[in-house]
Amino acid sequence: MKMKKMLAAAAAAGIAAISGAAGAETISMTIGAKTFDVEMNGTEAAANFVKRLPISQPFEDFGKLERITYLKPALDTGKDALTASPKRGDLAYYIPWGNLCVFLIGGNAPSEDLVILGHMSEEALTALEKSGKNRVELRVKE
């Protein structure tokens, strides 16, 4: 019985490592006086982004599709897959332009240069949509 439990635990750990869930964490996004959670996905790119926090800068509209802000220097995306089909609320990094982006519309075509980092709630997304040119602070959740 003990051996079965050990094998089950090892299998669960292996699945978590493959899915990227093992290192997932939550960060905070503050806009004005309101703070929201953003769930990171546990990928190497997301972990590298979290290491760079805190950051505080405005996001701008990129058409009606997304809100973006540029990161300098470029984010190390590690060995994560580079093809992603973003959905509404996804926080991602677009490699060619070096920008962080949050998708406002779902059903987007796959991109070979996009790495999904995490996802935010509808409430957080609405606040970001309405943030205008105000600074948005992203930090490790305390």
- Tell me which long-range contacts 10-14 makes (C-beta under 8 A, separation of at least 24): none
pLDDT at 4 over 60: no
What SS3 state is found at 108? Answer: coil
Its CATH architecture, for the domain 23-140, is: Beta Barrel (2.40)
* Structural domain boundaries in the chain: 23-140
Q: What percent of the chain lies above the pLDDT cut of 70?
A: 83
Q: What is the pLDDT of residues 69-96, one digit of tens each?
A: 999 999 999 987 677 889 999 999 999 9
Distance, CA of 11 to CA of 20 (rounded, Å) = 14
Q: What percent of the chain lies above the pLDDT cut of 90?
A: 70
